Amino acid sequence: MTLKTKTQVCIIGSGPAGLVLSQLLHNSGVESILLDRQSRQHIEGRIRAGVLESGSVKALVDAGAGDNMLRVGLTHKGFNLAFDGEHHRIDLQGLTGKSVMVYGQTEVTKDLINLRLKQGAQMVFSAEDVRPTEVCSDKPVVHYVKDGKRYEVQCDYIAGCDGFHGVSRKTIPRAVRQTYERDYPFGWLGLLSDTPPVADELIYNNHQRGFALCSMRSPVRSRYYVQCSSDDDVANWSDQQFWDELALRIGTETAANLITGASIEKSIAPLRSFVCEPMRYGQLFLAGDAAHIVPPTGAKGLNLAIADVCILSRALIEHYKANNPLYLDTYSPTCLKRVWMVERFSWYMSKMLHQFPDNSPFERKMQRAEFDYIAASQTASKSIAENYVGLPLD
């Protein structure tokens, strides 16, 4: 026996993209159901991004999920680029009039889940065998299994917010979807610790031993990264080895302020650039990591996902409230134009700041020349600032 239910929008994936979309639709009276193959505990425990663009901050506030973020989040008006210990500050506020917010994706997710459940949202965690079908018909269906029982969600539209490994993108036939990708020959070894940050703002470091990033989640919790081999293993790194390597890469002056401690979490993240075109197939819309991946160098992954669902929520709301199909019809090209600009920025930052195995002394000199140009040119610094605080949604 299959249990059936109906809704207007079935959202696959309850990470920040799916949750923000569900909340924005709810605020305008559009019904949705959220499905996720993971448990709530797993979803809320994932350690991910921590820098929110000004547009992402506005989206969370508009959604009604910004109270805790505004209370404890850290407003940053700039960040630093460093090359072998020499620093150049990108003055975000002075160059663009905007800032960013440091607030962890884990907390964003918890805030949204709590709000959605408080409002009585239909959310299904630990849903197995999720399968979108009939996506090119007027009434697509999403099938899933929960506690051994089979369910069908009949809906008008499906939002695939289920990440790179989810089922949504794979629903689009191979003959229809075109993918573009690049795997980088290194990863980021990240360490989270309950220690005060080494600096008040983020520091992106290019060092001859490899990239390093000094970040934070709060005034008493730090997040640090060092570039490592793509086939490295966390087991190869003790906490002390990590701290020693980080201190070498950030330079003596910065390292003098480094407070070390036991790691709360340590992991290695691969770096990848990936884009799927189109982002719509029939009544199925892709958003976030289901459609694209950016290397974390420019702090864009979470922000790009939120931008997608802001565009998609507007399209769905216009359809339901004003019978206007324009934004649904133009969703994919509108998103992809922005996606490729964000991919460019993340690729540019990654190329400038990392040590590539095949880099010659010439490429190393070019990296240094790029840094010197940015440090000497307000126009170059402004270009980085504009991208970092976030591009317009359309």
For the four alpha carbons of 302, 307, 308 and 314, in that order, the dihedral sign comes to positive
pLDDT in tens, 257-269: 999 999 999 999 9
pLDDT at position 373 is 98
Judge contact between 342 and 304, C-beta under 8 A. Answer: yes
pLDDT at position 1 is 82
pLDDT at position 97 is 97
- Residues annotated as catalytic are 76, 204, 296, 300, 388
Q: How far apart are CA 98 and CA 90, in angstroms?
A: 12
**Angle CA 327–332–337, to nearest 5:** 105
In the DSSP assignment, the letter for residue 289 is: G
Contacts of 40 (CB under 8 A, 6+ apart): 113, 125
Tokens of 216: 């934070």
pLDDT at position 242 is 98
pLDDT at position 393 is 79
Q: How far apart are CA 74 and CA 145, in angstroms?
A: 41
Instruction: List, for the chain, all residue ranges whose pLDDT scores fall below the cut of 50.
Output: none
Q: Give CATH superfamily name and number for 2-50+105-181+273-349.
A: FAD/NAD(P)-binding domain (3.50.50.60)
Q: b/e map of 65-82 (b: 16 or more CB within 10 Å)?
A: bbebbeeebbebbbbbbb
Q: b/e map of 168-198 (b: 16 or more CB within 10 Å)?
A: bbebbeeeebeeeeeebebbbbbbbbebbbb
Nearest CA among 96, 95, 75, 78 for reference residue 87: 78
| pTM beyond cutoff 0.85 | yes
Note the Cα 64 to chain centre separation in Å. 20
Q: How far apart are CA 218 and CA 351, in angstroms?
A: 29
What are the φ/ψ torsions at residue 119 (nearest 5 degrees)?
-90, 5
Nearest CA among 164, 188, 219, 161 for reference residue 298: 188
pLDDT at position 49 is 77
pLDDT at position 43 is 92
In the DSSP assignment, the letter for residue 290 is: G
pLDDT at position 267 is 95
Contacts of 320 (CB under 8 A, 6+ apart): 8, 28, 29, 30
Q: How far apart are CA 300 and CA 294, in angstroms?
A: 7
pLDDT at position 47 is 75
